[in-house]
Amino acid sequence: MKKLAILSMMVGILIVFPGLLQGQASIKEVTLNERTIQDPMKSWTITFTQPINKGTFKKQNFLIKDEKKRQIKAKLSLSKDEQKVTITPESPYKKGITYYLYIKGNVKSDQNEFLSEHTVLPFKMETASKGSKNSSGTAVSSGKQQTSSSGKTSSSGSGSKSSSSSSANSSTSSKTPGKNLVKVQTKKHSHFDEISVQVSDYVTKVKAGSHVFEYKGNNLFVLYQPGLKSGDKITVKGYSMSGKVLETKEVVIP
């Protein structure tokens, strides 16, 4: 009888302990709708409503796995305001494979508040190159994906909450990829490159570093930039009327 009591206690401890050790393991996991991407080197930017606790800015909390649940090598970067985490793959995504971006609930705000859930964003490379052909059109070079958009994940069910920036806990923003910088194209001329950006109604200024894009009307901004070399990366930022960065995209010069 005593033995039975000890055994059941041990089983109980075994069941309970993993949860205790992992702390957040018991919180729910929310899987967002699958996204289709075109850029094989697409980086994802997760925007939080508060600065995150730097101790939780680590690869265990922001990761990408393939469909066999193998973690792929990726680099992490944290914005100056500590509210944006960007995860960039070190090797290109393969077509037809579903990848999963994980934002673990272990992430804490600088006020030591945990996220309320684990967030998983499945995404897949577009199999046919129709999209890339369309996007290259006359401009972006031959089907290769030059633009690397910084998509933003959303934590399911809290989309409207987080977009209003009113949630107390750190949570991901609800902005969808390409919402504000709708289309970025580059075109090579003999003495300069032309970068054109189609934007949403909310973007009133577009910059690449200190270079300000010329507004052409109809939500189209254009920059003519000499001295760029093939492979150069240009970070394009779309600003709101109040000067807030609405979206950032990286363009690779073909």
The footprint of another protein (CB under 8 A) covers 189-192, 194, 201-205, 211-212, 214-219, 223-227, 240-242
| Amino acid present at 101 | L
CB of 28 to another protein, least distance (A): 31
CB of 72 to another protein, least distance (A): 37
Structural contact between residues 19 and 76, judged by C-beta atoms closer than 8 angstroms: no
> Closer CB to another protein, residue 73 or residue 216?
216
CB of 138 to another protein, least distance (A): 12
Structural contact between residues 254 and 241, judged by C-beta atoms closer than 8 angstroms: no
Residue 170, token pair as written in the block: 């750190």
β partners of residue 38: none
> Closer CB to another protein, residue 109 or residue 180?
180
> Closer CB to another protein, residue 129 or residue 225?
225
> Closer CB to another protein, residue 112 or residue 190?
190
CB of 196 to another protein, least distance (A): 13
CB of 137 to another protein, least distance (A): 16
Separation between Cα atoms, residue 95 and residue 72, nearest integer Å: 15
> Closer CB to another protein, residue 79 or residue 219?
219
> Closer CB to another protein, residue 105 or residue 238?
238
Separation between Cα atoms, residue 22 and residue 57, nearest integer Å: 17
β partners of residue 225: 193
Going edge to edge, which strands form the sheet with 245-252? 147-149, 245-252, 233-239, 205-208, 211-212
CB of 191 to another protein, least distance (A): 6
Phi-psi region of 229 (alpha: psi -120 to 50; beta: other; left: phi over 0): beta
> Closer CB to another protein, residue 33 or residue 218?
218
Enter the DSSP assignment of 29.
Answer: E
Structural contact between residues 224 and 194, judged by C-beta atoms closer than 8 angstroms: yes
Separation between Cα atoms, residue 161 and residue 184, nearest integer Å: 29
| H/E stretch holding 159 | helix 159-163
CB of 211 to another protein, least distance (A): 6
